[in-house]
Amino acid sequence: MLGVIGGSGFYSFFGPDARSINLDTPYGAPSAAITVGSVGEHEVAFLPRHGVRHEFSPHTVPYRANMWAMRALGVRRIFAPCAVGSLNPALGPGAMVVPDQLVDRTSGRADTYFDSGGIHVGFADPYCPALRAAAAELPGVVDGGTMVVIQGPRFSTRAESRWFADQGFTLVNMTGYPEAVLARELEICYAAIALVTDLDAGVEAGAGVRAVDVFAEFERNMVGFKKLVREAIGGVADASTCTHCLAHEGVTLPFDLP
């Protein structure tokens, strides 16, 4: 089964005929019930990251519960569409980007299932190459870029934004971590698909980023963005042959994965 975790403004993916599944986990309830439907030949599970009414801010999303619930349901490959700010003037609102690198600037978020046992996962390349290719090869999609993940819920200052841009980072986001590393710990293939909603504060002069503008831009692009996610799903092979995301080969874990 494939999975989709929708970001801000991406609260539904299927019609009323989809079945809804409520799951509990050792880390509490996920953000919402998981809906399961079909995209082409694939069975797909959808979870809105922030809840169906955007109940969860970026720093309060139950990331561990979300990823655990998806794995328990049988999901082994996840696309993660998300809203991002651009740190590159060449990538304006409406651009769709498949990042290949991530920088974590969050703090205080529970970002592992392994609080004991000395388990370490490789994370040099944080996204699944097979899933990235399925999305990045689509027409009009920008392939590659570094997404810096900030704590939120506030937006960056101009100085922070210029600092990120000077480091060569491409996108700024609030939810891409710890989601990506939790997927790796659960040996789930994972790739982000980013929709640019704004130029970040240090890139463009003016009043700075406003949430109302971010949501409006996301809504303007929602039909095309969902179409892109469906096309990416259609480009995924029926059976996974990825070994990149099998983080625990040769390692004895302190508990069984769901």
Within 10 angstroms of residue 40's Cβ, the number of other Cβ atoms is 11
The pLDDT of residue 199 is 85
Ligand-binding annotation for 198, yes or no, is: yes
The pLDDT of residue 216 is 76
Q: Which residues in the chain show pLDDT less than 50?
A: none
Ligand-binding annotation for 200, yes or no, is: yes
Q: Residue 156 and residue 143: Cα distance in Å, rounded? A: 25
The pLDDT of residue 207 is 56
Which of 125, 143, 166, 200 does the annotation list as catalytic?
A: 200
The pLDDT of residue 149 is 98
Which of 17, 143, 166, 198 does the annotation list as catalytic?
A: 198
Question: How would you class 67 by CB atoms within 10 Å of its CB: exposed for 0-12, middle for 13-18, buried for 19 or more?
Answer: buried
Ligand-binding annotation for 199, yes or no, is: yes
Q: Is 174 in contact with 197 (CB distance < 8 Å)?
A: no
Question: Among 109, 108, 36, 112, which Cα is nearest to 67's?
Answer: 112
115 annotated active-site? no
| Residues 6+ positions from 72 with CB-CB distance below 8 Å | 23, 25, 258
Q: Where are the beta strands (DSSP E) in the chain?
A: 2-6, 19-21, 34-39, 42-48, 77-86, 96-98, 101-105, 141-143, 146-150, 171-173, 189-199
Q: Is 10 in contact with 219 (CB distance < 8 Å)?
A: no
Domains annotated for the chain, with CATH where assigned, are 2-245 (3.40.50.1580)
Q: What are phi and psi of 218, to 5 degrees?
A: -60, -45
Ligand-binding annotation for 49, yes or no, is: yes
The pLDDT of residue 241 is 85
DSSP string, 108-158: S----S-SSS------SS-S-HHHHHHHHTSTTEEE--EEEEE--SSPPPH
Q: Which is it for strands 189-199 and 146-150: parallel, antiparallel or unpaired?
A: unpaired
200 annotated active-site? yes
The pLDDT of residue 198 is 86
Buried residues in 104-115 as b, exposed as e (16+ CB within 10 A): bebeebebebee
- Please give the model's pTM, rounded to 2 decimal places: 0.93
Ligand-binding annotation for 174, yes or no, is: yes
Q: Residue 221 and residue 250: Cα distance in Å, rounded? A: 44
